[in-house]
Amino acid sequence: MLKTDVIVDLQYGDCGKGKVAHFLCQRGSYTHVLRYNGGCNAGHTIFHKGKKFITHHIPAGVFFGIPSIIGSGCVLDPVQFFREIEMLEKGGVPTKGKIFIAENAHIITAKHKAEDRKRGGKIGTTGRGNGPAYRDKYGRTGVRAKDIPRLRPYLIDLYKEWCSKKNANVLAEGAQGFGLDIDWGDYPFVTSSHCTSAGALLNGLPPKSLANVWGVAKIYETYVGSKKFQPAGRVFNKMADVGEEFGATTGRRRQTNWMNMQNLERAIFINGVTHVVFNKVDVLKEIGAWALYDKEKKVSFKNEKDMQGFIVKRLKTLGIPKSRIYFSASKERI
């Protein structure tokens, strides 16, 4: 039997998928952790044994010695890949025999990176070559992982991997977020891959293997990119400061706003979410302001409890019980 759990970001990336992956790896019995989309535009910040790690390609499973795979839905920059392996080894995380790359994943070349740095400004891309690599993949002129001799020791065939294990239990972690999805995000201010839970299945995972979908949101919203996102108001700068809202990949300051309930409901529905984690509750606690947008109106709350009560009630109507909703106020725990 093959079983798949998915971690998907319900907003614009940076909601703390890394932390949720880390939590699930600790308590679950996963045989594989799979990154299912994106390239090194992603930045996962993980606190492990008191140390801070930022990974771009390699999934969180490696911190627990779980075989970690960069899937066929991803694009891979070999330079960054080897740099990351070195960083993990230096940080005391063993990688030998634990990291794999789908042989049909596509490659980000030096040319892709140069092009993205030159032309990605309109969208405010991370400049990591993601868009050009996916364009060449779909244009059928791309280079695949199996074409690169240096990557040979890491290559696997995902079909053989899923089907050869008697009881594979896969944790599939997404990159970026629903609001940046190529189809469902605010086009053209999107990334070039499928960020939804459906995107996980594109990595050779049969739909009937899908068990739980962990949706990750922030209790407020952030966005990095070139469109205007942050409204006027001092509170939003405060959110960014207290929340340390700087991109893990590019160091850019993230724009902030209150959480949008309708966008969240849409993301929960389309991704088939079964569990929701709201991160960074500690940030609103520190600034002492509780609000969200509902049906285009700002709704303010007296305190944390009132806001949580409102959210819990709404998610119940979407079939998500209170016991599957987590409000996290810690960098290390959910």
Neighbours of 256 (CB within 10 A): 24
- Under rule CB under 5 A, residue 173 binds Mg ion: no
Choose one: 35-43, 47-55, 72-80, 140-148; the region binding Mg ion (CB under 5 A): 35-43
What are the φ and ψ backbone dihedral angles of 222, each rounded to 5 degrees? Answer: -135, 155
**Residue 179 Cβ vs ligand IMP, minimum distance, rounded to whole Å:** 9
Looking at residues 215 to 254 of the shown chain, list those that interact with Mg ion (rule: CB under 5 A): 248
Catalytic residue among 44, 57, 112, 275: 44
Neighbours of 257 (CB within 10 A): 19
Residues that bind ligand IMP (CB under 6 A): 12-14, 41-43, 123-126, 128, 130-131, 175-176, 180, 189, 191-192, 224-225
User: Least distance to ligand IMP from the beta carbon of 306, Å?
Assistant: 30
Give the residue from 157, 179, 208 showing the smallest Cα distance to 266. 179
Instruction: Point out the catalytic residue in the list 14, 77, 116, 181.
Output: 14
Distance CA 124, CA 33 (A): 30
Closer CB to ligand IMP, 2 or 259, in the complex: 259
Nearest distance, CB of residue 42 and Mg ion, angstroms: 6
Q: Which of 16, 39, 43, 120 touches Mg ion by CB under 5 A?
A: 43
CA gap 267, 251 in Å, rounded: 27
Give the residues across from 258 on adjacent strands. 220
CB of residue 139 to ligand IMP, shortest distance in Å:
16
Q: What is the largest CA-CA distance in the chain?
A: 60
Residues listed for the chain:
334
Nearer to Mg ion, 45 or 157 (CB): 45
Identity of the residue, 59 or 225, whose beta carbon is nearer to ligand IMP in the bound complex: 225
Looking at the chain, the number of H-run helices and the number of E-run strands are 10, 17
Residue 191: which of Mg ion, ligand IMP, none does it interact with, CB under 5 to 8 A by kind? ligand IMP
- Catalytic annotation on 44? yes
In the chain, the amino acid numbered 86 is: E
Clarify whether 194 is annotated catalytic: no
Cβ(158)–Cβ(176) below 8 Å: no
Applying CB under 5 A, which part among 42-50, 69-77, 112-120, 232-240 lies near Mg ion?
Answer: 42-50
- Residue 14 sits in the site that holds Mg ion (CB under 5 A): yes
Residue written as token pair 């092009």:
115
∠ at Cα 321 (200, 328), nearest 5°? 70
**Nearest-approach distance from CB 126 to Mg ion, in angstroms:** 10
For residue 165, the tally of other CB atoms under 10 A from its CB is 15
Q: Which residues bind Mg ion (CB under 5 A)?
A: 14, 43, 248
Q: Which residues are catalytic?
A: 14, 44
